[in-house]
Amino acid sequence: MKKIEIITRSYKLEDVKESLTALGIKGMTVTEVKGFGRQGGHKEVYRGAEYQVDFVPKIKIEVVIDDEIVAEAVQAVSGAARTGQVGDGKIFISPIEDVVRIRTGESGSDAI
Amino acid sequence: MIQSGDTAFILVSAALVLLMTPALALFYAGMVRSKNVLGTIMQSIIMISLITLEWIYIGYSMSFGPDVAGIIGDLSFAALSGVGTAPSPDYATTVPHIVFMIYQCMFAVITPALITGAFAERVRFLPFCIFSVLWSVLVYNPVCHWIWGGGFLGAMGVLDFAGGLVVHLTCGVAALVACIMIGPRKGFGKRQFIPHNLPMTVIGTGLLWFGWFGFNGGSALAADEIAATAFVATHIAGMTGMLTWTLVEWYHIGKPTTLGACSGAIAGLATITPAAGFVGPNSAVCIGFLGGMICYLAVLAKNRFGYDDSLDVVGIHGVGGLIGTIALGFFASTAVNPGGADGLFFGNPGFLMTQLTGIAVVGGYTLVISWIILKGINAFTPLRMEENDEEIGMDTSEHSESAYQA
């Protein structure tokens, strides 16, 4: 099992969700986050005073999936979230040791 | 003799002016960081209570009581003694005396609230309250008497229709003294002080504008043609100020901003305040334009001088009141208001000098007394929050509450 964390533009949430649910993925966790990468921040102006805002608002989507659909999921997300402009975000993939469904006590792939 | 129309109009105007204080609270609160929202709102709304009490027990009598040597009113009206439903023989003679009293009370309430924008996000609540009451007694009440209550400036011919000197210049000068003495917010010049909720500031602007019709229109003290003139001039200057600031900012920064549009409207409204009932519509456009343009430049100048007037009380209210009072010296016309004066553009340069004298006296007095009050309070209890409390924010450290739950 793998966890994929997708950090991308907030307005891409629906597109990414649809691309993942189309693969049969049934759950995900979404968090509003702030950060910066190569995109850097942006400038805001209040009564003539300029502020550099370093932390750009993004969303983070976390899903845990079986190993065999990881490549497909990454490809789907990349297609859904890509604009081609700097700031499209990143996908992090990490191994998951186990998953337990609290209600039933099931574990492993059955609990995803 | 009491006129029911005038009485109804002044009562409604008093309610409109009262609304400006919570409106100001929203206007200011939107511009501070989220940890200081309630502290900022509190500094405005508590004035409704504190200053009303001060006003009925001493302030009204100091301001509008029988004149003593042109300097101050005596205490005949203390605790509203003799201020009943019969009209005053001296003020607003067609409405009950008590109606005039409560209308003027609302002006006394909002003036110290306006100052709070200068030292937002860093002043302790108790010394702030002491400052506001002392300042009202020692600055607002005498200046109000000098101009509106039969004092020496009014006798000299200084005109101030609805508070360019009495409200805006006094609060602007006090704001300048206070923000310099109290010092900048921690991290000023290094950290970001980004407004946390500009839609809140927009709501505040709208409600202030609405209330301003009572502030300026009601200052005619009758539902008559002067009230109509003042009402229209107020709207015209507000909208001209908004457009001017927006265009200047668009040209200067490259984009028009919402905060700029709101700031311009308030600048235009503050600038027309002393002139509202004395000028025609075209003059109101000119005054609104001057307000939008010069207040924008004054706010930019703050960044050069390096003092931390957090929410631009000096640049918008102080400079607005100053410009409006001077502009009245140019644009006043007895064709508009026979009870006023002719300005320079209507063949009377002497009136401009009178207005400048009024500015020098009110500005100088406010500067000195505000400085003394702040120094005096600071000797007993520090005005400034402790460093750690300032970092935590006023909402938690001063009031043990928070505006937004996660």
Encode burial over B222-260: b for 16+ CB neighbours within 10 A, e otherwise: bbeebbebbbbbbbbbbbbbbbbbbbbbeeeeeeebebb
pLDDT at A36: 92
Question: Which residue of A lies nearest to B246 if distances are taken between CA atoms?
Answer: A47
Question: Which residue of B lies nearest to A44 if distances are taken between CA atoms?
Answer: B194
Q: Indicate the pLDDT class of residue A41, thresholds 50, 70 and 90.
A: confident
Average pLDDT over residues B306-327: 96
pLDDT at B127: 98
Say yes or no to pLDDT of B112 above 80. Answer: yes
pLDDT digits (tens, 9 = 90+) for A45-87: 999 888 888 899 999 999 999 999 999 999 999 999 999 999 9
Average pLDDT over residues B349-376: 98
Is the ipTM beyond the 0.85 threshold? Answer: no
How do strand A42-46 and strand A2-8 relate by DSSP bridges? unpaired
Q: A73 near A25, Cβ under 8 Å?
A: yes
Phi first, then psi, for residue B53 (nearest 5°) are -65, -45
Residue among B192, B255, B299 whose CB faces A47 most closely: B299
pLDDT at B177: 98
| Residue A52 with chain B: CB contacts under 8 Å | 192
Say yes or no to pLDDT of B253 above 80. Answer: yes
Say yes or no to pLDDT of A99 above 90. Answer: yes
Q: Do B192 and A53 touch (CB under 8 A)?
A: yes
Q: Identify the residue among B192, B205, B258, B302 best suited for mutation to test binding to A, counting A beta carbons within 10 A and taking the highest.
A: B192
